[in-house]
Structure 1
Amino acid sequence: MKFASNIVAGMALAAAVSVSGAVGAEAKTKMKISHYLPAVHGIHTDFIEPWARQVSECTGGEVEFEIYPAGTQLGNVARQQEQVMAGVVDIAHGLHGIPRGRFPRTSLIDMPFLTDDAGAATYALWSMLPDELAEEYEGMKVLALHAHNGGLVHTSEKKVETMEDLKGLRIRTPSPAISDMLSFLGADPQGLPPGEAYENIQRGVIDGTVFPWDPVKSFGLNEVLQYHLDAGVYTVSFFFVMNERSYNRLSPEAQACVDKYSGDALVAKFGDWWDKWDAPGRQQAIDAGHVISELADDERARWREALQPMMSAYLQKMKDAGIDDADEIYQKMQDRIAEYEASHRD
């Protein structure tokens, strides 16, 4: 009988340990983060990895993250928004312009000549999120909106310094506004994910691309490019969002940790980050002996004049699509950028 009692007691203890272990396992929440950039990009190394680590440490290990960059099954640039909305991933970082048409209000920041400063564009987007842009993010908790520094025109075989030089060139484009801009300047815009630019330039399918400096290095594009026009006439914007249900499932303490490292504290870093990320790409081009040209002031004035009809037509297109306040959003973006630039003058 004593032997039998020991067996029963042992079984009870084993069951208790098993239940305890199960409870402990359930207390940990594993979350997936996806983005479309290479794991060597600053978005991954300086932003997403440290963010995940900080949040996890803040929660005492309650929340753990798995990150899926470009090259993984969840790294497709065109699927970032739908993946997070469907709960396939919990958090995603993506481009507002790919696929087209999902963030029309936010994407007005892509209009030419608004700014060439990542910090200014990021400030405008984040400050306008609660009112003008909120409806585009239903079902998502927005952790950050941001933009890159002014983009350049990069080409493989032909040096570009004027509108005439652009005529007929097949240039990879990231968004509808930039496509319209390139068309009005005489180029032939080609909609391609950023990760496909290298192969298509190498094969001669396209003649070049518009990018800031940082993806030129992270996608290895200096190997297939020779000429770079520092035009700085546009920027492109990005989202970093969380599935609302995923956020709501977290404990209040874990939610507080997500909030602590997101929002205002996060968006304030992007201006300096983009400056840091751009520098190696430019230096790599210099070291390779590439030709880097600046858009001359008189040519910039020509571009601005040539693009006025395009900008008016683009705003009208937005209004025809149901964005009745497109003019007001565009004006407020200009005002917020001016605020930022005035406050950051030396």
Structure 2
Amino acid sequence: MAAADQRRHECRLGGIRYPSSCRRESPEKSPQRQQQHQNHRGATTVELKRNPDSVWRSWSASGALIACLAIAAPSHADTTLLLNGWAGATQQLTKDILVGWAKEVEKASNGRIKYSLLPKAPAAPSGTIDAVINGLCDVSYISHGLHPGRFSLTKVVEFPQGGASAEINSVVYQRLYEKYLAQAGEHKGIKVINVFTHGPGHIFTSKRQILKAADFDGLKMRVGGPVLSQLMQAMGAAPVVRGAPEMYELLSNGVVDGTLVPFSPVVTFKTEKIIRYGTSIPGGLYTLSFALIMSEKTFNALPKQDQDVINHWSGERFAARSGQAWDAEDQDGLEALKKAGVQLTIADAALVNAIRDKAKPIEDAWYKDAKAKGIDGEKVLAEFREETRKMAAAKR
């Protein structure tokens, strides 16, 4: 079996599970991959010792034993997917979305598709896609904004006042991805299980509360991607593009004065004692674009029945589940922020309008980028906003 297939198997004989040593491995397997297999397969080598005087007795039974094993051996081997949860095992991206998906797949496949969560990310967040393509892991999530220059169309969900909830945003986003965006091929080399967003993002600061546009002046703000980076520059702040898991270190060391996130990450990454103020934007200052991705090589090497299982737990079905996980965490996060004494306020119309005005040139520039890729960005963004509004109204 070629290493490019990226399939992990466990052989079963007569009800006994044997380690991966019973399969052929390609010499192409990377040292990192070999180490991962050693660490995560739990393989054990057992040395069988025989009494030389009794060896002759085994020959008479060997033919019958081989025949029994041939009958008992199944026609397929199980697959174990390596999961990369780089945000941390307790973060909802990992425990609810990545592992949640893997559990559904394992159940639906009657245990044929198993999973193993890597204890350590094989690459930095910005290297996740290459880690999947190169076989260091099979399935992971990505934040598109942490891959600068690689994605443009995914910014459609990241502009101000994108939607009311992660579930609604994620469902609409998945539909528009399939309808318009996938054809541009920005995810070439990987299988997209689903796209989704986190909940509406807000403004959290340690120095002063953001009540008007001028309050951004001079603040250093952690942001999660290029759209927010441009927006913060337009508002007079200095953006620092880093992943949310780095918030605590950045805030506690004074590298940044604030961060743009939904409610839950403030608590998840233990910054509620450092953050003093929160300003909530109706509809969200932004949302971030994410995707759950899988190695195309791993997927293509699976039997069709297992591919069907994965496809069943892809697309809108799991986009909705991904959004629901974020919304539940955000509600818990909001309550925890209140309990921690963070001063929360809702932005007034003047601040919302000022943000919208500063975002307009960024949106216009994105329309041009989308057009260059054959996509009518203005149409897609308008449809995203309209459909999220409709779904939110229907849920009231």
TM-score, normalised via structure 1 length: 0.88
The whole-number CA distance in structure 2 between the counterparts of 1:330 and 1:19 is 58
Alpha-carbon distance change, 17 to 222 in structure 1, aligned in 2, over 3 angstroms: farther
Cα distance, 1:339 vs structure 2: 4.1
The whole-number CA distance in structure 1 between the counterparts of 2:371 and 2:104 is 44
Cα distance, 1:53 vs structure 2: 1.9
Question: Does residue 304 of the first structure (1) align with residue 356 of the second (2)?
Answer: yes
Which residue does the alignment assign to 1:208?
258
Q: Which runs of 5+ in 2 are unaligned?
A: 1-53
Picking from 183, 197, 218, the partner of 2:233 is 183
Q: Is the 8 A contact 1:34 1:68 kept in 2?
A: yes
**Map 1:158-173 → 2, pairs under 5 A:** 158-173=208-223
Which residue does the alignment assign to 2:320?
268
Cα distance, 1:26 vs structure 2: 6.8
**Structure 1 counterpart of 2:353, which letter?**
A
**Structure 2 counterpart of 1:68, which letter?**
L
Q: Is the 8 A contact 1:177 1:314 kept in 2?
A: no
Cα distance, 1:155 vs structure 2: 1.0
Cα distance, 1:319 vs structure 2: 5.3
Picking from 175, 181, 196, the partner of 1:127 is 175
Q: Is the 8 A contact 2:192 2:292 kept in 1?
A: yes
Question: Does residue 93 of the first structure (1) align with residue 104 of the second (2)?
Answer: no
Cα distance, 1:222 vs structure 2: 1.0
**Map 1:1-346 → 2, pairs under 5 A:** 6-12=57-63, 27-68=77-118, 72-74=120-122, 76-134=124-182, 135-231=185-281, 232-316=284-368, 318=369, 325-342=376-393, 344-346=394-396
Q: Which runs of 5+ in 1 are unaligned?
A: none
Residue range with higher mean Cα deviation, 101-110 or 35-44? 35-44
Alpha-carbon distance change, 17 to 165 in structure 1, aligned in 2, over 3 angstroms: farther
The whole-number CA distance in structure 1 between the counterparts of 2:122 and 2:70 is 34
Alpha-carbon distance change, 20 to 92 in structure 1, aligned in 2, over 3 angstroms: farther
The whole-number CA distance in structure 1 between the counterparts of 2:311 and 2:375 is 32
The whole-number CA distance in structure 1 between the counterparts of 2:375 and 2:321 is 32
Q: Is the 8 A contact 1:38 1:44 kept in 2?
A: yes
Aligned CA RMSD, in angstroms, stands at: 2.6
Alignment partner of 1:97: what SS?
Answer: helix
The whole-number CA distance in structure 1 between the counterparts of 2:210 and 2:198 is 22
Show CA shifts across 1:17-68 (max 9, x none): 77789x6697121111213222112232323223212211222222211123
Alignment partner of 1:221: what SS?
Answer: coil
The whole-number CA distance in structure 2 between the counterparts of 1:323 and 1:110 is 20
Q: Is the 8 A contact 2:366 2:377 kept in 1?
A: no
TM-score, normalised via structure 2 length: 0.78
The whole-number CA distance in structure 2 between the counterparts of 1:125 and 1:110 is 11
Cα distance, 1:287 vs structure 2: 1.3
Alignment partner of 2:300: what SS?
Answer: helix
How many residues are paired up? 339
Q: Is the 8 A contact 2:171 2:316 kept in 1?
A: no
**Structure 2 counterpart of 1:29, which letter?**
T
The whole-number CA distance in structure 1 between the counterparts of 2:123 and 2:68 is 39
Q: Is the 8 A contact 1:145 1:267 kept in 2?
A: yes
**Structure 2 counterpart of 1:282, which letter?**
L
**Structure 2 counterpart of 1:236, which letter?**
L
